[in-house]
Structure 1
Amino acid sequence: MQILPLFSKHKVVHFNKTDARLANNGISLDLQRLRCRVNFQALKFTPQIEALGNKLVHLLRDKGPFMALHLRYEMDMLAFSGCTQGCTAEEAEELKRMRYAFPWWREKEIVSEERRSQGLCPLTPEETSLVLQALGFDKDMQIYIASGEIYGSERRLATLRAAFPRIVKKEMMPDPKELQQFHNHSSQMAALDFMVSIASNTFIPTYDGNMAKLVEGHRRYLGFKRTVLLDRKKLVVLLDLYQNGTPSQNDFEVAVRLAHEKKMGQPSHRRVIVVKPKEEDYFYANPLECLCKQRDCDDLLGPGKRNSSEVSS
């Protein structure tokens, strides 16, 4: 049977046995570009989500430029990652109980300090405040919190709010009733955050989960909009030194900025790990083949850089 008539009739085609992630590399240029057109142009949210998402964006833009901060300091994120930086002993125990309550979660005993030193923990709201200031963001910057409920609620946002008073959440909309239809539907609330994040002047994720990667790639597709990809492994070292009195504030700021000079969403090749494809860079986070005119992308990256990101093992 021909697929096109079915597609024309139903508008959607579901292919069986395609739930596994598609390969990132080694695919024809035509197919890669088709993936981009489907993901970044054809896929749409429901009319209700689109309408409210667009309204949120317009409300924010009316008040000037804004940053979307994907602050992944949420209870489930902390529980399953085992990250307890900034938590009290009671909170750390609560997070551990949550992790043990889910039999399917294999990793039960996690050393938070080890995980954090490897760059595998989201930054805390307090750490995020220091990093944003070091990167030179003005205190009057409008910041949209693109996440669910922050663990510890307003108490944990106090430091960030003191440094950047213009913090906005979707729950602070003029008419809260408009959000009621999405309550208890976390994926739909996340879709609203996604729309705002795509439209923001600057996007900063404090953890590189699936949503952060999709937003990163979509913003690249829209013309390499500024996306600050935090180097958490370097940052935790700098943050710990700074909070212990070294280096000076000026040296700390210089070090943070130098660490992120090339992490602003600029054109770059994906990292390719031939023997460990699950650990290589995600195609949708950096769909470079869709963004350049030449097959080797020399027009974006300059000549001689095409293999610099390949890792064989």
Structure 2
Amino acid sequence: MDFRQIVAGMLTVTMFLMLAHMIKRDHFDPPPHHHLHVNHAGRLDNSYSEQNFALGNDGQLWKPDDLTNVVLKPCWSKPVLEEEGSRGFVSFSLTNGPEYHISQIANAVVVARYLRATLIIPDIRGTQPGDWRNFGDIYDIEKFVNSLNGVVKVVKTQPSELSAKNLAVLRVPNRVTEDYIADNIEPAFKSKGNVRLATYFPSVNMKKSDDDWNSVNCLAMYGALELQPDVQQVVDSMVKRLKSLSLKSNGPFVAVDLRLDMLDKKGCQDINNGDVGGSKKCYTPLEVALFLKKLGFDKDTVIYLTQSRWDSSLDAIKDLFPKSFTKEGLMPMDKTSKFLESEEYEKVIDFYLSSESDVFVPAISGLFYANVAGKRIASGKTQILVPANIPPASSASVTNYVSQYVSKKSHMAYSCFC
């Protein structure tokens, strides 16, 4: 064998070894993880039965088995009235948006059942004087009545005999108790014959409860309210579009509750003297964007913001996540004149869309976050991340930012569903 043949042989062996190394690297070595990757297994209705979230340096964010989004079953037994006789009426209005509606409905049902009174289906009041609409404009009346059949008697319209003279108007705290009803509501009901309730919220109380009275609360909060078909269709079309965009980006779609008017009201002040990493009541667009980036969300992540219209202050999010949208860029054109000109419809869309997103990020603490969390827990969508100002040099473990409603199972939904 001459010198040229020896060199040719050596080159052949070298090329073979290099090719073998490339094949091994591509097929056996784990790929470098720098972004959040999501695999979807779709159903025919464009919803998703499985999601596999893998995160950067932390490996698996959630295991695939934890992301099947299996709808939980109600743990409560439907409480049936032992007495059919009605002794008056309970009336009320729904105000301030769906996160309040859920609690207002629950209070009214609990009070009406205790008093053996007939519940009058409420109207819906907006924030401006004279701004009101019928219950059926947003919610399904028949499903509401049927869900409460045997629990309380319900009428669809206010009886003609009901007047201000025989009506006691009472302010009632959220998650009213039997003792409170007996001491503060029943005497007025017996005196006047009818009561009108206005629920107030001394605190956001979503703690678990295992008492017998909880079955009525669970049914009223999670089994009574459903959107009427036209409104549900708009929500479904927006969810479908966002999920379609997220599939193209090979990532999740994230709903962020970020309303600029609420940020101004709360002031976004640090609770822990402004220390980095401390908890806050709310987070600015830039803080939310940096939080998501620090956790490893890819720049192509699709983000829905509950802010009504795009504002220049939201550019901080769009700079890092170009596929960020408000509802005006997603709603079907033939629906905008109706649904974008009404604050009540906008609130409903935000609430239910946040309940259906792949991931939910509450940039604002409060009842919206608490009641969206409840609906997500009930449907198995427990991917809720609470923002924080993560120090630049620290490693960001996503599991440290999962909502305590989920990580500690402290939400009342866990006493309603199993």
Cα deviations across residues 56-94 of structure 1 (Å, max 9, x unaligned)?
A: 11222233241111123x1x32332234xxxxxxxxxxx
Going from structure 1 to structure 2, the CA distance change for 1:188 and 1:66 (only over 3 Å counts) comes to same
Structure 2 letter corresponding to 1:229: V
Going from structure 1 to structure 2, the CA distance change for 1:216 and 1:144 (only over 3 Å counts) comes to same
Match of 1:94 in 2: none
Report the Cα distance in structure 2 between the residues aligned to 1:5 and 1:229, rounded to whole angstroms.
37
Stretches of structure 1 that go unaligned for 5 or more consecutive residues are 84-111, 271-284, 293-313
SS in structure 2 at match of 1:227:
coil
Stretches of structure 2 that go unaligned for 5 or more consecutive residues are 1-84, 87-117, 119-149, 160-167, 177-204
SS in structure 1 at match of 2:223:
helix
The alignment status of 1:78 with 2:295, answered yes or no, reads no
- Paired-residue identity, %: 22
The alignment status of 1:193 with 2:350, answered yes or no, reads yes
CA apart distance, 1:255: 4.1
SS in structure 1 at match of 2:335:
helix
CA apart distance, 1:115: 8.2
Structure with the larger strand share: 2
Match of 1:209 in 2: 366
Aligned pairs for 1:1-313 within 5 A = 1-2=85-86, 3=118, 7=153, 9-10=155-156, 17=170, 19-22=172-175, 29-63=211-245, 64=247, 65-72=252-259, 74=260, 76-83=261-268, 112=269, 117=274, 119-149=279-309, 153=311, 155-173=312-330, 175-230=332-387, 232=388, 235=389, 238-239=390-391, 242=392, 247=393, 251=394, 254-255=395-396, 257=398, 259-260=400-401, 262-263=402-403, 266-270=406-410, 285-292=411-418
Structure 1 letter corresponding to 2:226: K
Report the Cα distance in structure 1 between the residues aligned to 2:151 and 2:271, rounded to whole angstroms.
55
Structure 1 letter corresponding to 2:230: Q
Structure 1 letter corresponding to 2:360: F
Report the Cα distance in structure 1 between the residues aligned to 2:271 and 2:253, rounded to whole angstroms.
34
Going from structure 1 to structure 2, the CA distance change for 1:134 and 1:179 (only over 3 Å counts) comes to same
TM-score (norm 2): 0.47
Structure 2 letter corresponding to 1:156: S
CA apart distance, 1:224: 4.6
Equivalent pair of 1:201/1:226 in contact (CA under 8 Å): yes
Structure 1 residue ranges (4+ consecutive) displaced by more than 6 angstroms after TM superposition:
113-116
Report the Cα distance in structure 2 between the residues aligned to 1:68 and 1:20, rounded to whole angstroms.
30
Going from structure 1 to structure 2, the CA distance change for 1:81 and 1:6 (only over 3 Å counts) comes to closer
Equivalent pair of 2:308/2:328 in contact (CA under 8 Å): no
Report the Cα distance in structure 2 between the residues aligned to 1:5 and 1:269, rounded to whole angstroms.
28
Which stretch shows the higher mean deviation, 193-202 or 138-147? Answer: 138-147
Match of 1:108 in 2: none
Going from structure 1 to structure 2, the CA distance change for 1:174 and 1:69 (only over 3 Å counts) comes to closer
CA apart distance, 1:113: 6.4
Report the Cα distance in structure 2 between the residues aligned to 1:28 and 1:16, rounded to whole angstroms.
30
Going from structure 1 to structure 2, the CA distance change for 1:26 and 1:175 (only over 3 Å counts) comes to closer
Report the Cα distance in structure 1 between the residues aligned to 2:342 and 2:172, rounded to whole angstroms.
23
Equivalent pair of 2:270/2:281 in contact (CA under 8 Å): no
Cα deviations across residues 246-278 of structure 1 (Å, max 9, x unaligned)?
A: x3xxx3xx1464642x537535243xxxxxxxx
Report the Cα distance in structure 2 between the residues aligned to 1:173 and 1:145, rounded to whole angstroms.
11
Relative contact order, higher structure (CA 8 A, sep 6+): 1
Equivalent pair of 1:226/1:265 in contact (CA under 8 Å): no
Larger radius of gyration: 2
Structure with the larger helix share: 1
TM-score (norm 1): 0.61
Structure 1 letter corresponding to 2:307: S
Report the Cα distance in structure 1 between the residues aligned to 2:309 and 2:302, rounded to whole angstroms.
19
CA apart distance, 1:160: 1.5
Equivalent pair of 1:216/1:286 in contact (CA under 8 Å): no
